[in-house]
Amino acid sequence: MDWTDRGIVLSARSHGEAALLVVLLTEQHGRHAGLVRGGQGHKALYQPGNRVTATWRARLAEHLGNYSCELQESVAAPLLDDPLRLAALSSACAVAEAALPEREPHADIYAGMEALLAAFAGPFWAEAYVRWEIGVLAGLGFGLDLASCAATGSNDQLAYVSPRSGRAVSLAAGDAYRDRLLRLPGFLIGRARNDAGGGAEEVLQGLTLAGYFLERHVLGPQGQLMPAARTRFVDRFERSATISGRN
Q: Which residues in the chain come in under a pLDDT of 50?
A: 247
Residue 200 has a pLDDT of: 93
Query: What is the C-alpha separation between 59 and 76, in angstroms, rounded?
Result: 33
CATH topology for the 2-74 domain:
OB fold (Dihydrolipoamide Acetyltransferase, E2P) (2.40.50)
The CATH 2.40.50.140 portion of the chain extends over: 2-74
How far is Cα of residue 197 from the mean position of the Cα atoms in its chain? 18
Residue 208 has a pLDDT of: 98
Residue 233 has a pLDDT of: 98
